[in-house]
Amino acid sequence: MAIRTIVQDGDPILKKKCRPVTEFNEKLGQLLDDMGETMIAANGLGLAGPQVGMLKRCFVVLDQYLDEDDNEVDEILEFVNPEILETSGKLTIFEGCLSFPGRNGAISRPQYVKVRAQDRYGEWFELEAEDILARAICHENDHLDGVTIMDHAKVFYEDLTPEQIKRLNLDEDYE
């Protein structure tokens, strides 16, 4: 495993469309291992292929939950050639991106998603997600089509005055 360099704002690769993954080999496993490690090291909730310079349709997200004994579990979920099958609900909150440090954009995302993807061995699976995990999946999936928070954000937190932040009601102001 190795930590890879995260592509930053201004790199044209972030605007490119990724190609489907066709080879499910050791190299893909290595890439996904590295992406998971890089995401954790950067304290991120997700990381997509283009963010480590690979125009491949794959991403990782961090699923954080409590197990039966109320222990916090951090699980890295891997998605290869993902497709969003269903969405519902809508919530507008600020979200960041490891490629745009210091920028938090107010973005409307579905509250629920159903996604279909392949794992690192090429096996298809379906997953339903809500709230933060649904948001992370949508965010990372956008990266695969060259879409980032810079395209979606209705306003950036950093551009607001303290007075505006106090009065902010994202779901009403930016629907």
Closest distance to Zn ion from the beta carbon of 48 (Å): 6
Q: Which residues of the chain form contacts with Zn ion (CB under 5 A)?
A: 97
> What's the 3-state SS for the chain?
CCCCCCCCCCCHHHHCCCECCCCCCHHHHHHHHHHHHHHHHCCCCEEEHHHHCCCECEEEEEEEEECCCCCEEEEEEEEEEEEEEEEECCEEEEECCCCCCCCCEEEEECCEEEEEEECCCCCEEEEEEEHHHHHHHHHHHHHCCCCCHHHHCCCEHHHCCHHHHHHCCHHHHCC
- Give the residue nearest to Zn ion (CB): 97
Tell me, yes or no, if 140 is annotated catalytic.
yes
Comparing CB distances to Zn ion, the nearer of 97 and 106 is: 97
Closest distance to Zn ion from the beta carbon of 68 (Å): 32
Comparing CB distances to Zn ion, the nearer of 97 and 155 is: 97
Comparing CB distances to Zn ion, the nearer of 91 and 122 is: 91
Catalytic residue among 68, 75, 140, 158: 140
Contacts of 101 (CB under 8 A, 6+ apart): 8
Closest distance to Zn ion from the beta carbon of 87 (Å): 18
Region at 172 (left for phi over 0; alpha for psi -120 to 50; beta for the rest)? alpha
Closest distance to Zn ion from the beta carbon of 91 (Å): 18
Comparing CB distances to Zn ion, the nearer of 20 and 101 is: 101
**Cross-strand partners of 19:** 56
Active-site residue set = 140
